[in-house]
Structure 1
Amino acid sequence: MNTPRGARRTDTKLSDGRELSYYDPADAPVRVPLEDTRGLPAPQPQVELRTDPLTGDVITYATHRNTRTYLPPADQCPLCASKPGNPTEIPDHDYNVAVFENRFPSFAGPGRTEVVCFTSDHNQSFTNLSQGQARLVVDTWADRTAELGARDDVELVFPFENRGREIGVTLSHPHGQIYAYPFLPPRMRTLMTQARRHQEVAGSNLFADVLAAERKEGTRVIGENGNWTAFVPEAARWPVEVHLYPHRQVAGIDELSVGERDDFAELYLDVLSRLDGLYGDPLPYIAAWHQAPVRIDRELGYLHLELLSIRRAADKIKYLAGSESGMGAFISDTRPEDVAETLRKVGS
């Protein structure tokens, strides 16, 4: 099938019944999926949701994930294309972008978790993708957002990428994940509460006003083009933190126009290259898409991407210690304006 923006999607199933989709450029040859010959048993995830009575937060217990694959050697990577002697999660000799149900899901029944492989090249990173390949990933995120957001058991679609061992990555192949939460997670609940208060007082959208203020003030902006602006937020929590906002308010990635998707890929690759140039080697980071909730307060949301890194110096990591972990009150060693100025100079 074709996704709304022209990428070709080909659906198949793995030997244990999990779904797998390939995403190829629209002008690529039609893909004929190969059979997964591994004969895997049907997944039996053990997932339990509990609500903390003190905070109202939902805590997920997924005990089966304790046995998930951990930093295998490159020749045994389960996210590479299959080859003789090493059948993988992707039973083909090559692919552009591939998405499959996580073998060790955080949610089962209500909700869903997926793995998004950005490229078949094990030694690549998102930073080094071509703009065309990055754009294909954007179309993939958009298609998954639309499909997962249509499910009755999903409240928020959250595409994200963890990069670097310092972040806790267990597979080094360039990939991200998508969590289709069956509940509204704490961060989004907080954002929607603030957005609702702002709407009641100011009569305008909180996120649009933050973007306008950052663009007007200018000192924390590190890059922009016709449709997007990247900036270090005024009250950044993390040693390195960059937000990317589209200039037009949309609820999700699937609502972005062709031009907006093109411009995002261009600016995002530029920002990632600046992050890697900060200390002269790949920066560990989390890239977190903030999309509007599927149902509750959807009109208050504003799609944006938040990039953060725990590295506070070339050889130092910020750990969440007493104040951050015990009270949720961040104390930062870096000043947002200084970080923005440094990132603007990188590569200039």
Structure 2
Amino acid sequence: MSLFWRIFGLNAVVLCAATALLLWAPVTVSVPVVLTEAVVLVGGLVVMLIANAALLRVGLAPLDRLTQRMTTVDLLQPGRRLPVGGHGGVAELLRTFNEMLGRLEAERASSSARALSAQESERRRIAQELHDEVGQSMTAVLLELKRAADRAPEPLRTDLQQAQETTRESLGEVRRLARRLRPGVLDDLGLISALTSLANDFTTHTDLTVRRRFDPGLPALEPETELVLYRVAQEGLTNAARHAEARSVRLTLRHTPATVVLEVSDDGHGIGHAHEGAGIRGMRERAVLIGAALDIGPGPSGGARIRLTVPRDGDAA
């Protein structure tokens, strides 16, 4: 039954019931209308309107659910669908909406894959230029400063050695930025070594104490999946260092026969009702890219916990 005939039928039922009551009820209408007859007519009208409103609410309830879902739909949290029951126009509308959500999620995943691929390519290019161009130039400056300091008299030698030390620290910072932009250790030594290097880097250059626990025997993963796991861990540690006011972070990577789970939990002030920023949205986009589930909530020690659950090969569907 279409929506038009559904509404028409509900109103017809109410009007027929009201007509039957007028035909068979022992009630007459005088001219002019007396007070008791007016009370009966008004009461019947009120009852008819209440019944009509109740029936319409039942008939249009699927549209109310559709409206609520349309206001809360998020393409970065895929898989949410409206239950479809029965036949007719309303059921067809719900099925069409669910199919539209599926197409939008697929298009969002495809566009996110292209954008993230371009982003990683640009990061790789910038990291390569930092390493090859800026790094080599600063290395040459460092050697020149050393040569000049060896030939300079004592008062000037101290200043040149100080400049040499500053240049060395800047060179180390450039190399660290290059590693964060494109972790070469991820390509060369794998995910575990890359996460270990990342944890050591945060422990060295921030006030965080990063405790890590990685299950042995990690199964082979696609390079794209390893990169997503690394980026989510990197973003989680960055959020803990910059925004959570945390003192310690726990980084774990475990696996089951069906999934690989990455978890970053801290002892900071938690997320609460804070608005999701670009970092969290980026993590959600990366999770959608590989068909993973990203859960962000309170941690066991009162801070925040980021959990990325990645299906193993053959389970992504």
For this structure pair, what is the TM-score category when the shorter chain's length is used for normalisation? under 0.3
More helix by share: 2
TM-score norm. by structure 2 comes to 0.26
- Structure number with bigger Rg: 2
More strand by share: 1
Which structure exhibits the higher relative contact order, with contacts defined as CA atoms closer than 8 Å and separated by 6 or more residues? Answer: 1
